Structure 1
């Protein structure tokens, strides 16, 4: 006897129910209303197979992965095989299939060995042509947003078409840092388009602020309580799509990464966006402030399973470096501490430059726009050059800008 859950589009629900009623050895356990009820049933081991339709409420790749993780098999039902495959469903039947075809597919799906789907692209960067850099780090404000914005700006000045994505679901600050006064959440709009399966096909359709022709910003949430609009699986798809349109995608995220409630569903917590951005990144830049508290927090962070899972994708950046905080010479002292406790040197050192930083923040400028000769501005430029292969510099690198919201 095959236990089945029906999670299909409303128009096919009754048709499939009547169809399966004619099949021997098949029992329909339940017909859940949305993905929350569906996952709850799967986690209790209620069924052998779930039949899902492309437009079932709340369905996405993350939900399919969660179903498969419970040991429940998944059979797709619908005519858009490509869309079902993109969700992670390897087997499907068309909506006009007869009872015998559906019954055979159920048996095959139940008895088959679950294997990962064949990749649609050869091994390599999962993000396509572009390079995704996620700027993460410890608490105590090490300057994640400042770093993300200036990496994007310097990337554009070195010939890379760049976009900064504000995926901080706690305190989105990219718009403020760049002096953007509009009250629009570009990332929420982009996630909505992706969830509705109407994503932009090129840069012209991406909701964004065009700082310059080669430098763009996707602003974050206008209110922190809007975090449910940025779901992990949707954000993953958004970043992969942006990496096909831009050479450099810099993602600014919160320092918070684990659920606020240990007993909450891990797929629907506030900080799932941070985890998705870390998983999607080609490079994760872990920042810490160059003072005793910041370094202590970094040592603790580097000992976590989360950081160890990053492997070779992780780079370490120490910000706000100054001798008054750690002694002279500051860089030598910092390297000594990290070598002693984590046996690793920092990849980047970013000096404290309060004068330039304050002036840039007040004017809504990047550091290069405010003072291209500042030490900190040059350090960010050097970091970009190390992270990405050099390209011909853009001629449009003047301090003047024409911000246009699209």
Structure 2
């Protein structure tokens, strides 16, 4: 006999149970808030509402261990996105026949957008500048987008974008997630709007003092990001450089981990943008850290961006030298190059705006559009938007994304 558990609100569960009155299935009710910690042995089907406080990583893991089939229910787009993020097919009606014969999709479609983490090694290669511009580009067309500063060492997005850094921000959202009081409405309340051309994104600013890093624990960050997936379509996260697992060097394994926010964000990512600075020291640092990054994130897609490309620091054929070096030591072949142009970056800093907003026709903006199209799974329209003369001159260029025609700098 099939055993079905309805982890729904009491009134809704009572209505659904009526539909099973003349059927053979064994039906029970459970508290949605505690079902993830309950004993699920012997359960065949678990019906839950597709909302972050119920359908989360802890519940999915518990059901996987017990061999329980999850049937998520919702009637809104946010619920559909949340269920899809776990590879679950959504149920829009709670009729008994549909619950019993509800099946999961045969495979999970590749994630377009989702959580995008911008990381780079030490040395300020341009993580924050790229993260802000990428978020602004993803928000074009009023796509629901959020920008999060999860840097626990040197948060910079608030000051860079002219936003107040003494508001609640990301740390407040993480605390609410730990208390299980975080939802889309609360995220909207603690976020600040960032206006840009043809769209706007919501910004969760970082901690205003580096000494507050214990507030960004791995559990809090992971829980917050899971809930944020149901809040917006695309989340861009700026993280710190360090990848060391603090537990490996501390005798107290239960103590707070300084790099927990970075590691938790990277492990939650659907796409990772790895930024390197185009000079001898920057490339060397990237090569040494890239192996650690790959060991941490496994097969998560990594998009490599090399920033501040110029002949003054590497000599002739700077891009060719970088391409060959990365191919030899990291096996990276697909690279997005961004050139060195301090005037555009200084103008963006002066006006507290993103480079894509202040210089939309620059090569940097074209490169970010190409990167955004890649992570969002959209056609690359950068080439077709180029002037006719520029396209003719690029006919025989290599197939690697190269946007160094009109240079721009990442600050």
Shorter chain as denominator, the TM-score bin is 0.5 to 0.7
Question: Are 2:222 and 2:268, in contact at CA under 8 Å, matched by a contact in 1?
Answer: yes
Equivalent position to 1:373, from 338, 358, 361: 361
Q: Gapped runs of 5+ residues in structure 2?
A: 1-28, 42-63, 71-82, 88-106, 382-411
Note if contact 2:113-2:270 (Cα within 8 Å) is conserved in structure 1: no
The structure 1 residue matched to 2:372, chosen from 361, 384, 397, is 384
C-alpha distance in structure 2 between counterparts of 1:350 and 1:266, whole Å: 42
Cα–Cα, structure 1 residues 346 and 297, in superposed 2: closer, same or farther, change >3 Å? farther
**Aligned twin of 1:271:** 259
Aligned to 1:207: 190
Change (3 A) 1:181 1:198: closer
The one of 302, 307, 314 equivalent to 1:326 is: 314
8 Å CA contact 1:283–1:313 kept in 2: the answer is yes
Where in structure 1 do 4 or more consecutive aligned residues deviate above 6 Å? Answer: 124-129
Check whether the contact 2:132–2:157 (CA below 8 A) recurs between aligned residues. yes
How far 1:217 sits from its partner (Å)? Answer: 0.8
Q: Which residue of 2 aligns with 1:315?
A: 303
Of residues 128, 133, 141, the one that matches 1:145 is 128
1:358 maps to 2:354: no
**Do 2:326 and 2:332's aligned partners in 1 also have CA atoms closer than 8 Å?**
yes
- Match in the other structure for 1:32: none
CA RMSD, 1 decimal: 3.0
Residue-by-residue CA offset, 1:288-328 (whole Å, 9 max, x unaligned): 11111111112112233754643242221111111212222
Work out the CA distance in 2 between the residues paired with 1:126 and 1:174: 32
What are the ranges of 5 or more consecutive residues in structure 1 without an aligned counterpart? 1-78, 93-113, 394-406
Go from structure 1 to structure 2 and tell me whether the alpha carbon gap of 1:126 and 1:91 turns closer, same or farther (over 3 Å shift): farther
2:209 matched to which residue of 1?
223
Q: Distance in 2 between matches of 1:296 and 1:159?
A: 39
* Structure-2 separation of matches of 1:344 and 1:256: 21
Aligned residue for 2:100?
A: none
Please state if 1:297 is matched with 2:285.
Answer: yes
When residues 128 and 389 of structure 1 are mapped into structure 2, their CA distance, relative to the original with a 3 A threshold, is: closer
Counterpart of 1:42 in structure 2 is: none
How many residue pairs were aligned?
Answer: 293
Q: 1:90 to 1:330 in 2, by over 3 A?
A: farther
TM-score normalised according to structure 2 size: 0.64
Partner of 1:179: 162
Equivalent pair of 1:162/1:216 in contact (CA under 8 Å):
yes
The CA deviation string for residues 55-96 of structure 1, in whole angstroms up to 9 with x for no partner, is xxxxxxxxxxxxxxxxxxxxxxxx97432344x55459xxxx
Question: In the alignment, is the contact (CA less than 8 A) between 2:187 and 2:228 conserved in 1?
Answer: no
Match of 2:33 in 1: 83
Cα distance in 1, alignment partners of residues 184 and 322 from structure 2 = 46
**1:267, distance to aligned residue in structure 2 (A):** 6.6
* Whole-Å separation in 1 of the counterparts to 2:330 and 2:316: 21
Q: CA deviation at 1:239?
A: 1.1
8 Å CA contact 1:135, 1:251 repeated in 2: yes
**Aligned equivalents of 1:119, 1:321: Cα separation in 2:** 51
Aligned to 1:115: 65
Identify which of 152, 170, 179 aligns with 1:169: 152
- How far the C-alpha of 1:117 sits from its partner, in A, is 6.5
Change (3 A) 1:204 1:167: closer
Superposed CA offset, 1:139-189 (max 9, x none): 111111111100001111255221110000111101011111452240111
Distance 2:224 2:109 in 1: 13
Inter-partner Cα distance in structure 1 for 2:326 and 2:135: 27
TM-score, scaled to structure 1: 0.65
Residue 117 of structure 2 aligns to a residue whose secondary structure is strand
Give the whole-Å Cα distance in 1 for the aligned partners of 2:203 and 2:359: 21
CA distance, structure 1, for counterparts of residue 377 and residue 111 of structure 2: 16
1:243 — aligned with what? 229
